[in-house]
Structure 1
Amino acid sequence: MILCFALVVQAQNVTVTGTVTDTQGESLIGVNIVVEGTTMGTITDINGNYELEVGPDARLTFSYVGYETQTVAVGDQRVINVSLVPGAALEEVVVVGYGTLRRSDLTGSLASVSARDFEQQPLTRVDQALQGRASGVSVIQTSGKPGAGFKIRIRGSNSIAGNNDPLYVVDGLTIEDINSININDVASMEVLKDASATAIYGSRGANGVVLVTTKTGEKGPARVAFETYYGVSKVFQSLDVMTPAEFAEGVNFAEGLEWYTAQEIADLRTGGGEDWQDRLFRKAPFWNAQLSVSGGS
């Protein structure tokens, strides 16, 4: 009799420990440590220490906000200490009347709106893009008429009888109507709200300044983009009115007299009535298409 034995050798997991610090030797708390290609991981404690059970062929990825990510192969190591290097900080740049500044260097009161904030919305006017997106800026529709314009007020009105409209500047040029440009051409908008607007633009900036920067071509091959949307506009809520029969019954009840007989009320109930709101307020379809070609060398 011959006995055959199959011997299966399985790699044993190992425990890896270590400390994560910055370039100054200070311990980093809450660093994410993940086994590459899996969801297994842990974080460093208050002293920057960690402990993780992994396979000998594993690779550990160390990541932390504001620092560059590092990946280390475990191999024969049982203690892996890592020093994370600070990543390159990208500061937001904003446009002001005399050029551009880093937001950290800006001392005046300014609100910024990027095209990314509204490009997914079916807007038709530039002033609509500011509505509800900039503190201290009120965008109010002038009337309830379809297609009515908007008025922009920055930190309220400064004059009872005078003009309270802000100054509009598009790519360094002042214009009277901000809606004379296409909303799809806008890259960003900055709103100057305090005395810095007057210091740059004089008395014309007393009501604030809206700076509009339009899109420009970027280096690379030509790119063609086509965007379109379709929608229907309708009355949000109509008035709840009585039917002719209900009106007749209400008159009889209010007057205490039989102005309308039972037969007349029955005829009104079977004959129905006309809700003139349905006649006046119909659904209004709208459609927009935008074709653009951009590129540069």
Structure 2
Amino acid sequence: MNVQNETVENVFVQLGKQTGLKFFYDQNVVNTAPRISIKVKNSPLQAVLDKITEQTNLFFNRDNNTISVGKQKIGNDVLKSKTRTIKGTVVDETGESVIGATVMVKGTTNGVTTNLDGNYTLNDVPDGATILISYIGYQTVELKSGSKELAKITLKENSELLDEVVVLGYGNIRRSDVTGSIASVSSESISKVASASVADALAGKMAGVQITTADGALDAEISIRVRGGGSITQDNSPLFLVDGFPVDDLSGIPPTDIESIDVLKEASMTAIYGARGANGVVIVTTKNPKTGKTSVQFNSYVQTRTLAGKLPVMGNYEFVMAEYEYQMIRKGSDETFVKNFGYYDDVELYKYTDSKDWQDEVLGGNPISQYYNLTVSGGVKRRNLI
């Protein structure tokens, strides 16, 4: 016999043709049995049946020319179930107990969940059965019923099993369900921009979100508008949440400390955050230290700014002369000019006054900005408290 991944029923048919024996079985039992692979030559029937038992956990009892098939071994007309009880603990990679993990016999409904301490007790486990241990977000573990690893099972995280979620107030929803109403920026995108302010790092990176600053100062107020301004007289600023805590603005957060920024643009956020969420919600997640060696990061840069496309403006004397010409051409009289600037014979005095360029006064000429940020992080998985 040479079969690969064959159903148990077809194997019984082949055995019946070669031996002349008849197999008696429950159709549901055979249909739910796993497929088997057997390769033998000149082998006794009992050896073949033993191989089937190893792969399917089915047992056989011969009575003359009939072989009865069942999930329990029959001997001396008494059903003898070869089962055991297994006990153990389920923990994660940090050694913490996993509460609510499922431990069950593969292919059956026999299973239990771990308690508050991660412990479990599973009864009526057949010899040779496969035990499945699973939990949401962790890799499923398969062990034989006689394995020593069942005493302490360690589950490993499986990020591929987790859908990306967005935390919304008191709960969370799948990000894929609300992609159109959420704008996100990761730490990788922020780190590519040499900037000391969050506004400069985020400018132009989120559709539907307008980010500006009052001026070029490092401590300048950041203005963020989601869906534009909704009110003329009231504040149009969104609700800022940094690691779950509301703050007034983001000017005090170094860009290098930010892991990600999510902007919730949906107007329905008012149902979760109240009136403060009417102008949108900005959720900032800062970086967490990673287990291992202490990490030291130092970021710095120096920048200078200059006004692009500076407009030429008139000096005091030029402005006064322009006003005099305007009055004489349009009105034919210098009466208004005399009231504002004095007699024309004294106009030469304006040449000796200091003229100020409002562009330099407002935009500050060529300021130099320096930025330094030092971050020290690290830690261990656990520590003993005395």
Instruction: Tell me the TM-score normalised to structure 2 length.
Output: 0.42
Partners of 2:268 and 2:179 in 1: how far apart? 9
Task: Please show how residues 1-297 of structure 1 align to structure 2 within 5 Å.
Answer: 93-97=164-168, 98=170, 102-106=174-178, 109-141=181-213, 143=214, 148-241=220-313, 277=357, 281-297=364-380
Contact 1:91 1:102 in 2 (8 A): no
Describe the SS at the equivalent of 2:200.
helix
| Cα gap change, 1:164 to 1:171, in 2 (>3 Å) | same
Contact 1:225 1:292 in 2 (8 A): yes
Contact 1:94 1:190 in 2 (8 A): no
C-alpha deviations, 1:155-178, integer Å up to 9, x for none? 012222222111001111111122
| Cα gap change, 1:207 to 1:242, in 2 (>3 Å) | closer
Bigger shift: residues 212-221 or 280-289: 280-289
Partners of 1:244 and 1:181 in 2: how far apart? 45
How far the C-alpha of 1:196 sits from its partner, in A, is: 4.0
How far the C-alpha of 1:94 sits from its partner, in A, is: 4.9
Describe the SS at the equivalent of 1:191.
strand
Contact 2:294 2:377 in 1 (8 A): yes
Contact 1:93 1:100 in 2 (8 A): no
Bigger shift: residues 206-215 or 218-227: 218-227
| Cα gap change, 1:243 to 1:133, in 2 (>3 Å) | same
Partners of 1:116 and 1:95 in 2: how far apart? 19
Task: Report the aligned-residue RMSD.
Answer: 4.0
Partners of 2:268 and 2:184 in 1: how far apart? 15
How far the C-alpha of 1:217 sits from its partner, in A, is: 0.4
Question: Could you say which structure has the greater relative contact order, defined with CA pairs below 8 angstroms and 6 or more residues apart?
Answer: 1
C-alpha deviations, 1:54-94, integer Å up to 9, x for none? xxxxxxxxxxxxxxxxxxxxxxxxxxxxxxxxxx9698835
Partners of 1:119 and 1:130 in 2: how far apart? 10
Describe the SS at the equivalent of 1:151.
strand
Aligned length: 201
How far the C-alpha of 1:235 sits from its partner, in A, is: 1.8
Partners of 2:298 and 2:265 in 1: how far apart? 35
| Cα gap change, 1:145 to 1:227, in 2 (>3 Å) | closer
| Cα gap change, 1:166 to 1:203, in 2 (>3 Å) | same
| Cα gap change, 1:206 to 1:245, in 2 (>3 Å) | closer
Partners of 1:168 and 1:246 in 2: how far apart? 50
Instruction: Tell me the TM-score normalised to structure 1 length.
Output: 0.54
C-alpha deviations, 1:226-250, integer Å up to 9, x for none? 1111111222222235799999x99
Gaps of 5+ in 2: 1-158, 330-343, 381-386
Letter in 1 for 2:201: A
Among all aligned residue pairs of Structure 1 and Structure 2, give the percentage whose two residues are the same amino acid: 39
How far the C-alpha of 1:191 sits from its partner, in A, is: 0.4
More helix by share: 2
| Cα gap change, 1:125 to 1:244, in 2 (>3 Å) | closer
Describe the SS at the equivalent of 2:377.
strand
Bigger shift: residues 179-188 or 168-177: 179-188
Letter in 2 for 1:296: G
Describe the SS at the equivalent of 1:204.
helix
Contact 2:211 2:224 in 1 (8 A): yes
Contact 1:108 1:196 in 2 (8 A): no
Partners of 2:236 and 2:276 in 1: how far apart? 10
How far the C-alpha of 1:205 sits from its partner, in A, is: 0.6
Partners of 2:322 and 2:179 in 1: how far apart? 66
Partners of 2:308 and 2:179 in 1: how far apart? 43
| Cα gap change, 1:243 to 1:192, in 2 (>3 Å) | closer
Letter in 2 for 1:282: G
Partners of 2:369 and 2:161 in 1: how far apart? 40
